[in-house]
């Protein structure tokens, strides 16, 4: 039995002479001859003539067919030639910058030194010893914005040190010009949350900005992360994956990746290009209190009540755990890719190496004891000048202290103390190390347990005197 429908299968249909449809068409054209250029149907299939296809060489030789601004030379540029062209362009930019800073006679030496430093920085082996160049401080400059009347809680400085963002317990983020110390704009965090009846508090908890200044991430006390354009201050989107409020943010250098920590005890890696999460990491047994990152595909976090610090190796999907504080660990900062600094409510500063589970150095009672209850003063903020031995710490004892790390980070020596009443809620060095910027408040950034009326809710810019 055949499964073909009669008259549809290949070959001649039974009972029907082949070629009859063509004969009918001939009779039709005899009755209605074609008009104009129309050719009569011959009843035979037309053989298509072979076309000539142009070769790649002929296509590339015709520059007129390429898009505007592209020539045949650009089309055939090899990867090696492209790298060479970009390297030459980069060297020209460096030479121009070095000419502005130094004399022409030292140009080659300065360029070679800068290239070597950049390479060592990229692999995490750059070490600069600058603490001995610091002689003292000049009178601090105080700035504040009318929209931030409450304690300043967080700071975020651009990679070039020209733009600063500040957050406070008020629902605003202020953009500052560092050179002139004037406000450039304000982000109102109340926009977009008025309809959310569950939100009872909106404030700047923490900030992070990518190295190229394309994205600004803001934690406002909710489980979401707002992303803005730092140039226009317009919202880009909201990242949502945490189940509890976001408490820490950090941006990986020279990428569009950020790390976020939350009260739900997780750390999440985000891609801001896709506005999506890459990976979620578990391990902390309490809320994540602080995060930091440099160039490597790693992040470091402090776990508050679980008294642990964790280094997350994202690509390897593993983590390193460090224990050393006797109380809550509130802050952690990378000194370089191999060493980091931590502090907490036990009043101690700890210097660590990623290769050892115990601190290399512990500075107990770094800010003394409280005269009220005799407890160690809570170290609420720390800062490191990346790839150097200079660090800073702040508490509520009325001083910001500058420290020098000696003997391969095994000894901590105080260089100077800067009078500054109030709670020191955040600290950051400018990239050149000439200034220290502090966020000051009458209250601690995490709560309102007690108040220091002698303090001011402001930003303090502390200039250093250095050897030339």
* CATH classification of the domain holding 177: 2.130.10.10
Contact 366, 401 (CB under 8 A): yes
Q: Is residue 267 part of a domain?
A: yes
Name the band, by pLDDT with cuts 50, 70 and 90, for residue 90. Answer: confident
Helix, coil or strand: residue 115: helix
Q: Which two tokens stand for residue 128?
A: 């600069």
Task: Give the highest mean pLDDT range of 37-51, 73-87, 186-200, 379-393.
Answer: 379-393
Q: Is residue 93 part of a domain?
A: no
Q: Is residue 109 part of a domain?
A: no
**Residue 49 confidence (pLDDT) above 80:** no
Read off the DSSP letter of residue 406: E
Name the band, by pLDDT with cuts 50, 70 and 90, for residue 146. Answer: very high
**Residue 215 confidence (pLDDT) above 60:** yes
Q: Is residue 92 part of a domain?
A: no
Stretch 445-457: mean pLDDT: 89
Q: Is residue 375 part of a domain?
A: yes
Query: Residue 357 and residue 103: Cα distance in Å, rounded?
Result: 47
Please tell me the predicted confidence (pLDDT) of residue 356: 93
Q: Is residue 75 part of a domain?
A: no
pLDDT digits (tens, 9 = 90+) for 362-385: 999 999 998 888 899 999 999 999
| Least confident piece of the model among 96-110, 154-168, 182-196, 408-422 | 96-110
> Can you give the residue range of the structural domain that contains 244?
131-192+199-466
Name the band, by pLDDT with cuts 50, 70 and 90, for residue 32. Answer: low
**Residues comprising the chain, all counted:** 468
pLDDT digits (tens, 9 = 90+) for 232-274: 999 999 999 999 999 999 999 989 999 999 999 999 999 999 9
Q: Total structural domains in the chain? A: 1
The residue assigned the tokens 């309102």 is 448
Helix, coil or strand: residue 24: helix
Query: Residue 239 and residue 90: Cα distance in Å, rounded?
Result: 35
Q: Is residue 115 part of a domain?
A: no
Query: Residue 98 and residue 418: Cα distance in Å, rounded?
Result: 33
When the pLDDT of each residue in the chain is averaged and rounded to a whole number, the result is 83
Stretch 12-32: mean pLDDT: 46
Please tell me the predicted confidence (pLDDT) of residue 83: 81
pLDDT digits (tens, 9 = 90+) for 334-343: 999 999 999 9
Please tell me the predicted confidence (pLDDT) of residue 161: 93
Closest CA to 166 of 138, 142, 191: 142
Name the band, by pLDDT with cuts 50, 70 and 90, for residue 202. Answer: confident
Provide the Cα torsion 364, 367, 369, 373; round to 10°: -120
Residue 395 CB neighbour total at 10 angstroms: 23
Q: Is residue 336 part of a domain?
A: yes
235-240 and 163-168: which strand pairing? unpaired
The residue assigned the tokens 């605003």 is 172
């Amino acid at each position: 039995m055949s499964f073909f429908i009669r008259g549809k299968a290949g070959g001649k249909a039974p009972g029907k002479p082949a070629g009859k449809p063509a004969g009918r068409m001939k009779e039709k054209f005899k009755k209605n001859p074609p008009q104009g250029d129309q050719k009569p149907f011959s009843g035979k299939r037309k053989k298509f003539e072979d076309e000539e296809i142009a070769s790649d060489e002929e296509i590339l030789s015709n520059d007129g067919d390429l898009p505007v601004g592209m020539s045949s030379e650009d089309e055939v540029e090899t990867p090696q030639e492209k790298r060479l062209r970009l390297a030459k362009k980069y060297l020209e930019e460096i030479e121009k910058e070095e000419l502005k800073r130094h004399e022409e006679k030292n140009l080659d030496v300065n360029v070679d030194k800068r290239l070597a430093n950049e390479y060592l920085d990229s692999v995490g082996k750059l070490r600069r010893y600058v603490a001995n160049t610091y002689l003292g401080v000049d009178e601090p400059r105080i700035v504040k914005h009318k929209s931030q009347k409450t304690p300043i809680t967080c700071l975020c400085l651009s990679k070039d040190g020209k733009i600063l963002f500040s957050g406070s317990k008020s629902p605003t983020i202020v953009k500052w010009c560092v050179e002139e110390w004037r406000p450039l704009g304000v982000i109102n965090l109340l926009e977009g949350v008025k309809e959310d009846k569950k939100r009872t508090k909106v404030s700047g908890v923490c900030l992070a900005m990518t190295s190229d200044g394309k994205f600004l991430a803001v934690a406002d006390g909710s489980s979401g992360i707002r992303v803005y354009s730092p140039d226009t201050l317009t919202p880009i989107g909201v990242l949502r994956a945490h189940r509890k409020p976001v408490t820490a943010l950090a941006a990986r250098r020279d990428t569009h990746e950020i790390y976020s920590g939350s009260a739900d005890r997780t750390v999440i890696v985000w891609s801001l290009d896709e506005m999506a999460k890459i990976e979620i990491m578990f391990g902390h047994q309490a809320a994540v209190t602080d995060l930091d990152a440099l160039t490597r595909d790693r992040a470091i976090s402090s776990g508050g009540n679980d008294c642990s610090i964790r280094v997350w190796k994202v690509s390897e999907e593993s983590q390193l755990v460090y224990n050393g504080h006797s109380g809550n660990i509130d802050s952690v900062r990378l000194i370089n890719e191999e060493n980091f600094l931590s502090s907490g409510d036990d009043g101690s500063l700890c210097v660590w190496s990623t290769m050892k589970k115990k601190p290399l150095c512990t500075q107990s009672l770094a800010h003394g004891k409280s005269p009220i209850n005799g407890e160690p003063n809570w170290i609420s903020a720390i800062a490191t000048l990346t790839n150097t031995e200079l660090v800073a710490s702040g508490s509520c004892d009325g001083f910001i202290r500058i420290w020098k790390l000696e003997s391969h980070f095994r000894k901590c020596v105080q260089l100077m103390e800067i009078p500054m009443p109030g709670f020191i809620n955040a600290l950051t060095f400018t990239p050149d190390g000439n200034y220290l910027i502090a966020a000051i408040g009458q209250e601690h950034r995490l709560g309102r347990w007690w108040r220091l009326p002698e303090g001011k809710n402001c930003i303090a810019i502390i200039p250093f005197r250095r050897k030339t």
